Each structure stands twice: as C-alpha cells, then as structure tokens.
Structure 1
Amino acid sequence: MIWAAIVQYYIYKTNPCGHYAATCKDAKKNPLVSPLNVWIQSGSYVLIAFSEIFASITGLEYAFTKAPTNMRSLVMSVFFFMSAASAAIGEAFVSLSLDPLLVWNYAISAILAAVGGILFWIAVRKLDSEEDKLNNLTSGHFESK
C-alpha cells in the first residue's frame, strides 16, 4: 500500500490536472494523462499478491495444525471470520477511491496494515517457544463418546 500511495502521489504530481487525474480533459475532449509508465503500478499488485499468499497460506496452515483435532472447524471459522472482517474494513474505505482522495486511501490502508502487523507480532511473538507443545495437541479435553 505504501508503493501504491507513492505511485498515486506521483501520478497526481505529474498530471496536468493535479489531483483530478481521472476526470481531466482538454478542449479537444482528449484525456490529459500523466507521463508515468503504467508498469510502475505493477509493483503494488505483485506485493499485494505475495502478502495475500503469505498471509492466507500461513494463517490456514497455522489455524489447522495448531488447533486441537476436535476444534479445527471452529478455529478455521474464526480465521475466515477475521478475513471477512478485514474485507468489511476495506469496503468501508471505498468512498475514498475517488480523485483526489486516492493517496489517502492507500496511506490509510498502509497505516492500518502496519498497526495490525505490530499488534499481531505482540500477540504471537512468544509462540515459537511453545511450538512443540502446540504441535502435539491431539484433541481437546472434552472427548466425544
């Protein structure tokens, strides 16, 4: 998101119409565009794709392998609920997806991701010391008969 915010900032900076790049037109009805190459935006897509892969695969694997056998479906449902909550937060910022607010949209997303990452690290930083104990969970203390 930082990449996207910086690229959008430079799109606004180099566009003849400034912060209204999407709706800018000249007298001949030809759009005035920024001289920046469109390929500079590909970096944000690549980084977002990698982050989704790392977060989804790691989260699914961790939720499934570290949960007791009889609680795996509950833990997986909590994982997917958190994914839905993050999608809802993303939808809350759709109104910022217009000129001249795109830089703010990307910057706020980057700040929220950084704060979330720091809070996540604080919450799970000591789990490495409990790795073997978590790997040996076979079932919860409530056995089904």
Structure 2
Amino acid sequence: MILCRSLNVPGSGMTSTLQAISPRELLKILSAKYSVFREWQPLAIGIDKQLIAQHPEFAAKHIRTALLIHTRALPYFRNMAKATARFGLDGAEAGEVTEQQRAHATEQIKEIQRKRNEARRAAEEAEKARKAEELRQQKLQMLVSKFKGNPD
C-alpha cells in the first residue's frame, strides 16, 4: 500500500491528502496520463526524476516502486527486446536502447516464460495428485461401505 504525502498548495491555505494507493493503482494513474506507460514503450533513463518532479503528491520511493513493477513486466521486456529508442513522458525520443539492453530483455523474457512453465507444470502435478487422492478416498469409501453391509 502506498501512502501519498500531503500536498500543500502555497498561498491557498489548502492541504489535500490523497488516499492510500497500491503500486498497481499508481501505475493505472500513470498509464491514464502517459501513453509511454499504456504502450509499454522503453522509458528514458532518469524518467523517475521527471515523474517525481511532476507528481509531488506521491512519495519518490513509491514512484520508483511503481516503475520497478512496470519495467519488470513481460510486455515491457518484449518491447525493449525489439526497440531502438527510449521515450520520455511526452512520448518524444529520449535516448537509445543498446544491443546489450535488448539482449538483457530477451534473457528476461526467456526467464519469465521458464518460470511460468514451471508454475504451470507444478499446478498440473498438484491437480493430478489431488485427483489421485480423491479417487483413492472414493475407493476407500466404497470398501468401507461394502464391508459395513456384511456383518460376519
């Protein structure tokens, strides 16, 4: 949960405090405001400083946490793997994506896919084990009921 700091509006005598939001909710706000987030474009180096300057209502630590989540997501890595340019908040080019950065993104995509495949296989194995246990319990119940009906 992210807590926003109070925003003092100089000269107005007003202080407003935004409600607590999660990093994902902060990302929704950023996505609604900036197309670079919606389109998963490679972000300019130092974009955190731009966001902090433009959004004093959010703590710098919370903006960086939201950026971390965004830049470690599969759609972001997919775009990084094929991109040549980085973009600022205004959507203008703001630097380049190096070959090393594209290679890193490709490695991350493979790692995410490997982990997802492992998780899927583990879930399938767990489901098989659950079904086998269910079948075993049914057979056991059948045996119990069979022998219950035969008093010797």
Q: State the TM-score, normalized to the length of structure 1.
A: 0.30
- Which structure has more relative contact order (CA 8 Å, sep 6+)? It is 1
Q: State the TM-score, normalized to the length of structure 2.
A: 0.29
The structure in which a higher percent of residues are helix is 1
The structure in which a higher percent of residues are strand is 2
